[in-house]
Amino acid sequence: MAEQKSTPSVSPSSPSSRHGGSRRRNVPGRVCIPVHTSLALVLILMAVIGYLCDMNKYAVVALSEPKVTSSGLLSAKENGSLSQGHGDVDGHGKVAIERAGVTVDSVISSSARSASESEAVSASLKSKTPLPPYGSPEYLAIFVQMNAKHNRWILSPFIPQKTLQCIPHPLQSWMRNLLSGTAMYFILSGLWSWYVYVVRGHVYFPDGGVPRTEDMLKQIRVSIVSMPIYSALPTLSEYMIEQGWTKSYHSINEVGWPTYFLLLVLYFLVIEFAVYWVHRILHDVKFLYVYLHATHHIYNKQNTLSPFAGLAFNPFDGIAQASPYVLALFILPIHAMTHELALFFSGVWATNIHDCIHGNVWPVMGAGYHTIHHTTYKHNYGHYTIVMDWIMGTLRDPLKQKAPGKGKEKGAGIKAE
Ligand SMILES: [Zn+2]
Ligand SMILES: [Zn+2]
């Protein structure tokens, strides 16, 4: 109880609350990041760095997989050559879709090979094997093999290997995205809700205002119904990358770290700009709002929003808002796995901005801003930052809301930490 008194929820008129209550002293200029958000960001950052630093293993493993030739499938071992030069290049740099089809089949067949054999071959190639020419069938086959490997990892515990081999590669990818997306949704939103409502509920919601179980179940139902269609978006982007239709590349070593980061910044700038406008159009065009976006705005009060609302959209609304992540691949060369992680991170972000706990970190479009979006319908359309809203004049600060009928500033009633 002592902690409860010392850590009150945000009171709109309380100056200290504007900087996060007692957990956050009123220190001008202090940057305040919610504990759970910090933890999640650190874990994600560590996972991303670990994954990216280990990227080359996919190239090596991919090249160590059985070779694709016009006459069928030959293993690298059988052919006696472990270097690149798969003998399938037509010499004109042409990416033949028919051949890509053969590649997909071959890769799926190769999934039956023992993991230990692949590991042994890849170990002998590590750090030595150059990538095939960008855009060549062999280069594109690396994407296919990488995705096939991910399919095996996720699906093989649930589907027998022989059955899996009979399922077309794009369908496998969709099943993998559906399964991992659903698991991510329940694990992330479940843990997030448990933390903010149960573990830290006395801090963030001392006066109640926790969403009802009924509201959360509604959000879960909408999300689960939409999940199969959401899963089509990463499946489509993987397919387009595999076919060589995008500018995506496989290994960071192909461009170097400085260029990688520069492109990544540009990627997120494009996404920020595009998501703002897609979201705003979903509000400004009446029939789009009524038939698509209104589903998400059922939860228009702060105590009805929860982390489970993060994916509670009409599926086509969700795809429309996430489409900039995919469309940007046609104008910017983006690392393929980073693109997939960015799509994954957009789901994490959606969870974060629906917990109604205002982080107050400039210029981040945190939950405080997004809760206002749900209550006014015409402010704070941005994705990760408040920059586009600031430029377009649609920004409303949760700590500077005017109380209805009163002349003084009032907070949004948003819980800050
Ligand atoms: Zn909206
Ligand atoms: Zn929302």
145-186: per-residue pLDDT in tens?
999 999 999 999 999 999 999 999 999 999 999 999 999 999
Q: Which ligand is nearest to the CA of 279?
A: 1
Q: What is the pLDDT of residues 193-225, one digit of tens each?
A: 999 999 999 999 888 888 999 999 999 999 999
CA 312 – ligand 2 centroid, Å: 8
Which residue's entry shows tokens 């005017």?
A: 402
Which span out of 199-208, 384-393, 400-409 was modeled with the highest average pLDDT? Answer: 384-393
In a domain, 38, yes or no: no
Q: Which ligand is nearest to the CA of 354?
A: 2
Three-state DSSP at 130 gives coil
CA 367 – ligand 2 centroid, Å: 9
Range of the domain at 101: 56-167
Q: Do both 182 and 158 map to the same domain?
A: no
Confidence of residue 401 (pLDDT cuts 50, 70, 90): low
Residue pair 103/138 in contact by the 8 Å Cβ criterion: no
CA 375 – ligand 1 centroid, Å: 10
In a domain, 15, yes or no: no
Confidence of residue 130 (pLDDT cuts 50, 70, 90): confident
Q: Do both 202 and 157 map to the same domain?
A: no
Q: Do both 218 and 126 map to the same domain?
A: no
In a domain, 34, yes or no: no
In a domain, 39, yes or no: no
End-of-domain residue from the set 167, 192, 223: 167
Q: Do both 61 and 105 map to the same domain?
A: yes
CA 293 – ligand 2 centroid, Å: 10
Q: What is the pLDDT averaged over residues 385-399?
A: 95
pLDDT for 118 equals 47
End-of-domain residue from the set 136, 167, 198: 167
In a domain, 28, yes or no: no
CA 374 – ligand 1 centroid, Å: 7
- DSSP conformation letters of 159-216: S-HHHHHTS-HHHHHHHHHHHHHHHHHHHHHHHHHIIIIIISHHHH-TT--PPPHHHH
In a domain, 339, yes or no: yes
pLDDT for 192 equals 95
pLDDT at 109 exceeding the cut of 80: no
The chain-wide mean pLDDT, for the chain, equals 76
pLDDT for 399 equals 84
Q: Which ligand is nearest to the CA of 317?
A: 1
Q: What is the pLDDT averaged over residues 309-321?
A: 97
Q: What is the count of structural domains for the chain?
A: 2
pLDDT at 191 exceeding the cut of 60: yes
In a domain, 16, yes or no: no
Q: Do both 203 and 218 map to the same domain?
A: yes
pLDDT for 128 equals 57
Which residue's entry shows tokens 């879709």?
A: 97
pLDDT for 358 equals 85
pLDDT for 129 equals 72
Q: Do both 280 and 381 map to the same domain?
A: yes
Report the interhelical angle of 169-193 vs 336-352 (nearest 10°): 30
Q: Do both 214 and 159 map to the same domain?
A: no
The residues facing 364 across adjacent strands are: 385
CA 336 – ligand 2 centroid, Å: 28
CA 415 – ligand 1 centroid, Å: 20
Q: Do both 375 and 231 map to the same domain?
A: yes
CA 38 – ligand 1 centroid, Å: 26
Encoded amino acid at 373, one letter = H
Q: Do both 253 and 349 map to the same domain?
A: yes
pLDDT for 373 equals 95
Q: Do both 96 and 180 map to the same domain?
A: no
In a domain, 11, yes or no: no
Q: Do both 97 and 177 map to the same domain?
A: no
CA 298 – ligand 2 centroid, Å: 10
End-of-domain residue from the set 109, 135, 167: 167
CA 354 – ligand 2 centroid, Å: 6
Confidence of residue 236 (pLDDT cuts 50, 70, 90): very high
Q: Do both 124 and 195 map to the same domain?
A: no
